[in-house]
């Protein structure tokens, strides 16, 4: 009996500490709300947010774009990401389902002439015709579970408002 009580108390403390380590961001003009770890600093952008960590190399990008169907969002994800500055990320494997209206996949490529690894998770709100892309990118040799944990917090808590 004491053992199960101890386990429940520890689980409650872990749950409470997780909640204290996040901040909720709401943006009605973009139509999204999400929580992010407090050790990731948020910088608003025109179409989303850029997050940088105080502890980890890399960044997280949250971007909202118009998409009417999951099929169109999938096509965009399969094409990878190419920026004007020469940054490029290519899909490494097949996209996997993420919830009912989402997709996820691993990417690699170059950013600022440095080899990087990234993981992208996307959600679609077909009624509103918008998709939210959440991607974490870090130097290939530094990409780790902490990057994935931060991404998952954002992806799991992201809601369309």
pTM (two decimals): 0.84
Report yes or no on 14 lying in a domain.
Answer: no
Total count of domains within the chain = 1
| β 114-125/130-139 pair status | antiparallel
Report yes or no on 149 lying in a domain.
Answer: yes
CA distance linking residue 85 with residue 47, whole number of Å: 18
User: Residue 134: which of 117, 146, 145, 148 has the closest Cα?
Assistant: 148
Report yes or no on 39 lying in a domain.
Answer: yes
CA distance linking residue 68 with residue 21, whole number of Å: 34
Residue 22 contacts residue 37 (beta carbons within 8 Å): yes
Query: Mind listing the pLDDT tens digit of every residue in the chain (161 residues)?
Result: 554 444 444 444 444 444 448 999 999 999 999 999 999 999 999 999 999 998 999 999 999 999 999 999 999 999 999 988 889 999 999 999 999 999 999 999 999 999 999 999 999 999 999 999 999 999 999 999 999 999 999 999 999 99
Residue 35: give its domain's CATH number: 3.40.1000.10
Name the residue range of residue 135's domain: 24-160
Report yes or no on 100 lying in a domain.
Answer: yes
Residue 131 contacts residue 160 (beta carbons within 8 Å): no
Report yes or no on 13 lying in a domain.
Answer: no
Report yes or no on 123 lying in a domain.
Answer: yes
């Amino acid at each position: 009996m004491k053992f199960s009580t101890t386990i429940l108390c520890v689980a409650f403390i872990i749950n409470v500490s997780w909640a204290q380590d996040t901040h909720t961001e709401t943006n009605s003009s973009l139509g999204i709300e999400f929580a992010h770890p407090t050790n990731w600093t948020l910088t608003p952008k025109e179409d989303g947010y850029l997050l940088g960590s105080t502890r980890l190399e890399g960044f997280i990008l949250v971007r909202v774009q118009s998409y009417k169907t999951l099929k169109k969002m999938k096509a965009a994800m399969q094409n990878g990401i190419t920026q004007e500055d020469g940054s490029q990320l290519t899909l490494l494997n097949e996209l996997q389902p993420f919830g009912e209206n989402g997709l996820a996949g691993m990417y690699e490529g170059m950013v600022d002439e440095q080899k990087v690894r990234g993981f992208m998770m996307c959600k679609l709100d077909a009624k509103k015709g918008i998709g939210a892309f959440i991607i974490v990118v870090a130097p290939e040799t530094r990409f780790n579970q902490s990057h994935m944990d931060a991404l998952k917090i954002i992806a799991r808590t992201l809601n369309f408002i």
